[in-house]
């Protein structure tokens, strides 16, 4: 397997994670890092790679790039990457809105280059297990909660683009692919005059499934939960702790030879979750699609669709 020559654009939190993994994975040859902040050069010493302040210089030496710059720069960076004929992984969100996402997606569709979008939770082993499980379940409702403390460095995205987009993508592109029948959303601003920091949304799908999504960056706790109600079970998923439990009804009776003083009305299963690093799995998928030409697990169509729904939510909230 030939290693893909890759460059990482942006050396913030996510950028550093991409640098760490691409520097050690056999699927990649890390050529260098681009960032406008000279202080970011220190990371190159840790991972024995080169620091670039000239973007075009890095792009001329790689086959692929990972865009981990601020969300407001994604469209500019992605267009530059596709114009240079490079396979590209763009951290979520693909753009600030569905219009930007559509422009990026169309450009890559025409180019024939791979576009992967960094909705890393789709590679969370809990989500992967849930996909297999739900093939045999009749889903009634899905409830998600995603809470985090406010990251004061993020000043170009609201809580919908920052947090809610993860769970929205999981629901509409993974766990329940039905069309939307009805959508409602409400939000509150907490830290400034214009960006929403708390959101609550209810979606009714054409197949009858109800989804409730709640996201907040006003808490000091980190919460990443998904609860799924089905006709036969209740599934509780912790994406942060990577655990899943399933509670089912049962008619279990214990044959003791005498009349027992209790009844067993349900049984709880603890699902064994594989120990994998979601971001590493995402990068493996990116590399494999570059070499095979297959469609990435999270592609531009997925990202555009999720942002289109997000735009509808924002219209309801901000108007």
Residues 205-245: tens digit of each pLDDT? 999 999 999 999 999 899 999 999 999 999 999 999 999 99
In this structure, what DSSP letter does residue 133 have?
A: H
26 exposed, middle or buried (CB, 10 Å; 0-12, 13-18, 19+)? exposed
E strand intervals along 130-265: 139-147, 180-189, 196-205, 210-216, 223-230, 233-238, 243-249
What's the pLDDT score for residue 319?
A: 83
What's the pLDDT score for residue 263?
A: 57
Mean pLDDT across 128-149: 95
Residue 275 confidence (pLDDT) above 60: yes
Residue 254 confidence (pLDDT) above 70: no
* Distance between CA atoms of residues 210 and 204, nearest Å: 5
Could you say which of 3.40.50.2020, 3.40.50.620, 3.30.70.2190, 3.30.360.10 is the CATH number of the domain covering 122-276+306-318? Answer: 3.30.360.10
**Which residue pairs, CB below 8 angstroms and at least 24 apart, start in 68-72?**
68/8, 68/9, 68/10, 68/11, 68/12, 68/14, 68/15, 68/18, 68/118, 69/9, 69/10, 69/12, 69/15, 70/10, 70/12, 70/156, 71/95, 71/96, 71/156, 71/157, 71/161, 72/96, 72/156, 72/157
Higher pLDDT, 153 or 298: 298
Domains 4-119+280-297 and 122-276+306-318 belong to one CATH topology? no
What's the pLDDT score for residue 38?
A: 86
Domain 4-119+280-297 fold is Rossmann fold (3.40.50)
Higher pLDDT, 154 or 132: 132
CA angle 211, 217, 219 (to 5 degrees): 100
Residue 252 confidence (pLDDT) above 80: no
90 exposed, middle or buried (CB, 10 Å; 0-12, 13-18, 19+)? buried
Give the pLDDT confidence of 98-133 residue by residue, as tens digits: 999 999 999 999 999 999 999 999 999 999 999 999
Mean pLDDT across 252-269: 63
Residue 261 confidence (pLDDT) above 60: no
What's the pLDDT score for residue 94?
A: 96
* Distance between CA atoms of residues 105 and 99, nearest Å: 10
Give the pLDDT confidence of 54-109 residue by residue, as tens digits: 999 999 999 999 999 999 999 999 999 999 999 999 999 999 999 999 999 999 99
* Distance between CA atoms of residues 230 and 153, nearest Å: 40
pTM exceeding 0.95: no
Higher pLDDT, 267 or 29: 29
Residue 278 confidence (pLDDT) above 80: yes
What's the pLDDT score for residue 1?
A: 59
Confidence of residue 272 (pLDDT cuts 50, 70, 90): confident
* Distance between CA atoms of residues 212 and 224, nearest Å: 14
What's the pLDDT score for residue 265?
A: 61
In this structure, what DSSP letter does residue 163 have?
A: I
User: Considering all CA atoms of the chain, what is the largest pairwise distance in Å, rounded to the nearest integer?
Assistant: 81
Overall residue count recorded for the chain in this entry: 319
Report how far apart, in Å, the C-alpha atoms of 191 and of each of 36, 155, 218, 237 are.
27, 10, 9, 30
What's the pLDDT score for residue 310?
A: 97
The neighbour count for residue 41, using CB atoms within 10 Å, is 15
Domain ranges of the chain: 4-119+280-297, 122-276+306-318
């Amino acid at each position: 397997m030939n290693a893909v020559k890759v460059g990482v654009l942006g050396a913030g939190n996510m950028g550093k994670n991409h640098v760490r993994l691409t520097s050690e994975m056999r699927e990649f040859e890390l050529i260098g890092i681009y960032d406008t902040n000279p202080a970011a050069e220190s990371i190159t010493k840790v991972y024995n790679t080169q620091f670039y302040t000239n973007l075009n210089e890095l792009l001329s030496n790689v086959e692929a790039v990972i865009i981990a710059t601020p969300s407001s720069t994604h469209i500019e960076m992605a267009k530059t990457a596709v114009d240079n004929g490079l396979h590209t992984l763009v951290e979520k969100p693909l753009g600030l809105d569905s219009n930007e996402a559509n422009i990026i997606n169309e450009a890559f569709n025409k180019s024939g280059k791979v576009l992967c979008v960094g909705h890393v939770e789709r590679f969370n082993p809990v989500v992967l297990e849930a996909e297999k499980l739900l093939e045999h379940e009749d889903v009634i409702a899905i409830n998600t909660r995603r809470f985090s403390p406010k990251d004061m460095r993020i000043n170009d995205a609201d809580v919908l683009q920052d947090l809610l987009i993860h769970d929205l993508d999981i629901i509409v592109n993974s766990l329940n692919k039905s069309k939307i029948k009805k959508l409602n959303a409400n939000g509150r601003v907490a830290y400034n005059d214009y960006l929403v920091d708390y959101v609550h949304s209810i979606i009714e799908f054409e197949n009858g499934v109800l989804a409730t999504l709640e996201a907040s960056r006003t808490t000091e706790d980190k919460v990443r939960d998904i609860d799924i109600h089905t006709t036969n079970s209740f599934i509780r998923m912790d994406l942060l702790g990577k655990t899943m439990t399933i509670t089912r009804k049962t008619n279990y009776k214990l044959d003791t030879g005498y009349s027992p003083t209790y009844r067993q009305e349900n049984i709880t299963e603890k699902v064994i979750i594989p120990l994998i690093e979601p971001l590493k799995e995402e990068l493996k998928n990116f590399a494999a699609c570059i070499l095979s030409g297959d469609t990435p697990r999270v592609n531009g169509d997925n990202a555009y669709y999720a942002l289109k729904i997000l735009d509808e939510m924002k219209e309801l909230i901000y108007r």
